[in-house]
Amino acid sequence: MLFLVFGSPSIASLDNKLYQRIELTLLKYSELGKVLDGQSSQWPFSSIVTCKDKNLDVFYHTYFQPLIQYLVQLAREVEQDNMVKRMDNTNQLHRFNSDSISSIMGEFFMISCNSMLSMTVWVYTILCYYPDVQRNISRELNRFIMLNGRQPTFSDRSRLPCYVSFQDQCFRYHAISITNTIQKSSKDTIHKNHAFGECNNPSQRTHGLGWHFSSTASALFKSNTRFNSSPHNGKNSALGWYTHFNPVIELMEKHMFNIIIKTLVRCTIKPALSHRGNKLYPSLASYSEMGGIKIPLDFKIRLVEHQHTSEL
């Protein structure tokens, strides 16, 4: 998330000062939730500054605001494309000032840490349950690499119909997030062979991957071509036409693409094994809540590296 929102490279060591500063801020936020009896997740950070609660005020001005201001300034100085720069480029159109951008980045910082964790865990869990889907995507990736001599990039996703169909189906399910979006499985409205979700809130579609996962999903992942493109602009975007006005959505989808592609190119996702060799699947029917997101219970998987191309 540092890379997407602020353009900073990944942190390689737990001793990194920036990592320790972020960890301290998240720890203080967790402690704040205990003080407020779990109500801290109901407060948007942009409104904390006007709140009269002393604990919230101390957290915001001592830990949260200085960290976000530092990250925003860092994002403007790096060469890497990031959300801060995109917001700067649109500030005249939307009349953002520097404080507004810092406030928005702060919201995304807290939300996105949870969101990317949730999305990644659910994607791995679903692929673990559906090895046939995983195999189809891996074969598709292998064919692409053999034809082009390289791994696919986000701009190549129109040539990966199995992957696009899978990701689109995953993003159609919503989890509770720090913004209190309601957990709700979307129902489709079909128009001209395109599916429109009942719950078309763009923030919901980025704040977590799925929940009520149906047994028929596997068939949809394999062959249902009506989910493979956006009817509005022809882009094969799992999050649809929201990318027109919300730059972070495309960045998050791009990051999710990279995570899945890089994993499946190298590994097969398999369930963990018990000491007797029995397969231990993460649960799709039960979960634990962590900071407003849902994580499947017993999430333990194995990433088994491919030995030969024929394995795909």
Over residues 172-219, the pLDDT tens digits come to 543 333 333 334 444 444 444 444 444 433 333 333 333 333 444 444
Res. 100: pLDDT tops 50: yes
pLDDT of residue 147: 96
**Same domain (yes/no): 150, 192:** yes
pLDDT digits (tens, 9 = 90+) for 32-41: 766 555 444 4
pLDDT of residue 273: 92
Residue with tokens 């407020």: 36
pLDDT of residue 92: 61
Spacing of C-alpha 130 from chain mean position: 20
pLDDT of residue 139: 92
**Same domain (yes/no): 198, 260:** yes
Res. 307: pLDDT tops 90: no
pLDDT digits (tens, 9 = 90+) for 88-99: 776 666 666 667
Place 310 in a pLDDT band, splitting at 50, 70 and 90: very low
Q: Which domain holds residue 26?
A: 2-111
**Same domain (yes/no): 128, 76:** no
> Mean pLDDT lowest for which of 104-108, 159-163, 232-236?
232-236
What domain count does the chain have?
2
Res. 127: pLDDT tops 80: yes
Last residue of a domain, one of 111, 129, 164: 111
pLDDT of residue 228: 36
* Cα angle for residues 222, 224, 230 (degrees, 5° grid): 120
How many C-beta neighbours within 10 Å does residue 194 have? 16
How many C-beta neighbours within 10 Å does residue 101 have? 21
Last residue of a domain, one of 95, 111, 127: 111
- What's the one-letter identity of residue 41? S
Residue with tokens 């017993």: 298
**Same domain (yes/no): 164, 100:** no
**Same domain (yes/no): 37, 66:** yes
pLDDT of residue 162: 87
**Per-range mean pLDDT, top range of 156-165, 196-205, 260-269:** 260-269
**Same domain (yes/no): 179, 209:** yes
Last residue of a domain, one of 111, 144, 176: 111
Res. 311: pLDDT tops 60: no
pLDDT digits (tens, 9 = 90+) for 41-81: 444 444 444 556 677 788 888 988 888 888 888 888 888 77
